[in-house]
Amino acid sequence: MSLIIQKFGGTSVGSVEKIQHAASRVIQEVRNGNQVVVVVSAMGKTTDELIRLAAGITDKPNKRDMDMLLTTGEQMTISLLSMALQSNGYNSVSMTGWQAGIQTEAVHSKARITHIETTRMKEALSCGKIVVVAGFQGMDMNNEITTLGRGGSDTTAVALAASLGAARCDIYTDVDGVYTSDPRYIKGARKLEGISYDEMLELANLGAGVLHPRAVEYAKNNSMPLTVRSSLEKIEGTLIEEVSNLEENLVVRGVAFEGDIVRVTIVGLKNEVTGLASIFSTLAENQINVDIIIQSRTEIDSTSLSFSIKEEELEEALQVLKQHQTALGFSSLDYEVGLAKVSIVGSGMVSNPGVAAQMFQCMSQNGIAIKMVSTSEIKVSTVVHMEDMLRSAQIIHDSFSLEALQPYPQLT
């Protein structure tokens, strides 16, 4: 008997009918002779509706109270799914994040899991119960309810899989796997049979919404086999593992894109060894994630520093920097909105020089201005104008011949 973790996203449990369907997928795994822990998100657009309700009260809600509000969405789903399992004759128990022993750091709205006390779940499993856990949530050392940020249910699922020693973790969603790019927008995007942890982590960080980056990080750190598959159709998904020997012919594995990017520029920063460290330490202490960084010397003893962040963090970033302006030692701040990030990812880039040149050339030939660039061994990211985002992604996808091949066969 193996332990399997199944996670169902919001669209996969968006109605009573879909919850019943999710229950049937859980039951099938139990019939295969396995123990099952199920992690679920809030139904459909429930989280968005809760945010809308809060916005009707105040435009600056307290983060603690927002966590208290948002966690109710998942609690509704676990109750309904557990009822669906019980109505089909299967013994189950629903648990909130804190009942399941998920402990987090004391940060509201985007906490990280620090530890999972698995005793209660293991006791339930030993009694033959299916355990249904609310994703996206936990409790800190002060017994305060916390949330893990958007997509946090993925992280919950993989963290539980690692803590419980599961055989694998299956992420069920409304798409049937990981694609070379978002098939809703990019013509010819095709499903990948397999992808490595590192490639998936880059894609997730660069805007691919299939998996949360922290979930991939947990899977990599714990060597947990991870599969993304359709909650509606019984077809092969995408296997995520340490080294993928599938799709070996692809130098570039995927094209990711993300809108609402802002370039922040710090002017007149003293050219000191500790200058950069002070800036980014201050931002990190306030949970502000910085991506692409460019530094340029403007005078003998002065430098200019630009970096990209998400637009949703702009107000807080500016406020933090202005509060610490004297200590950080810069003269002024500037920022540019209306930008987007377009990236390519592939482990084959390491041994194939000229990949970045091909990317830049095809963008240049199509009149797309590149405002910032960041590279690593397996990715190249560019910042472009928002209106050029989808066109850039399509052009790059075509340039590297990632168009659709034969579809994968249905499972029998």
Average pLDDT over residues 391-403: 94
Above 80 in pLDDT, residue 396? Answer: yes
> Which band of pLDDT confidence, cut at 50, 70 and 90, is reported for residue 349?
confident
% of the chain surpassing 90 pLDDT? 74
Q: In this structure, is residue 236 part of a structural domain?
A: no
Average pLDDT over residues 100-115: 95
Q: In this structure, is residue 168 part of a structural domain?
A: yes
Which of 127, 149, 174 delimits the end of a domain?
174
Q: Are residues 266 and 131 in the same domain?
A: no
At 161 the pLDDT is 97
Q: In this structure, is residue 58 part of a structural domain?
A: yes
> Which band of pLDDT confidence, cut at 50, 70 and 90, is reported for residue 77?
very high
Q: In this structure, is residue 268 part of a structural domain?
A: yes
Q: Are residues 157 and 272 in the same domain?
A: no
At 49 the pLDDT is 96
Paired sense of beta strands 3-8 and 168-173, if any: parallel
Q: Are residues 394 and 270 in the same domain?
A: yes
Q: Are residues 261 and 391 in the same domain?
A: yes
Burial of 167 (0-12, 13-18, 19+ CB in 10 A): middle
Q: Are residues 168 and 260 in the same domain?
A: no
Q: Are residues 269 and 159 in the same domain?
A: no
More confident residue, 303 or 146: 146
Q: Are residues 8 and 153 in the same domain?
A: yes
Alpha-helix residue ranges (DSSP H) falling in 245-313: 275-285
> Which band of pLDDT confidence, cut at 50, 70 and 90, is reported for residue 409?
very low
Q: In this structure, is residue 199 part of a structural domain?
A: no
Q: In this structure, is residue 351 part of a structural domain?
A: yes
- DSSP secondary structure of 321-379: HHHTHHHHT-SEEEEEEEEEEEEEE-GGGGG-TTHHHHHHHHHHHTTPPP-EEEE-SSE
Above 70 in pLDDT, residue 133? Answer: yes
% of the chain surpassing 70 pLDDT? 95
Average pLDDT over residues 244-260: 81
Q: Are residues 29 and 135 in the same domain?
A: yes
CATH number of the domain bearing residue 377: 3.30.2130.10
Name the residue with tokens 């003293």: 270
Q: In this structure, is residue 213 part of a structural domain?
A: no
CATH number of the domain bearing residue 59: 3.40.1160.10
Which of 174, 198, 230 delimits the end of a domain?
174
Q: In this structure, is residue 233 part of a structural domain?
A: no
Provide the whole-model pTM.
0.82
Total domains in the fold of the chain: 2
Which of 153, 174, 195 delimits the end of a domain?
174
Query: What average pLDDT does the chain have?
Result: 91
Above 90 in pLDDT, residue 72? Answer: yes
At 46 the pLDDT is 95
Q: Which domain holds residue 106?
A: 3-174
> Which band of pLDDT confidence, cut at 50, 70 and 90, is reported for residue 277?
confident
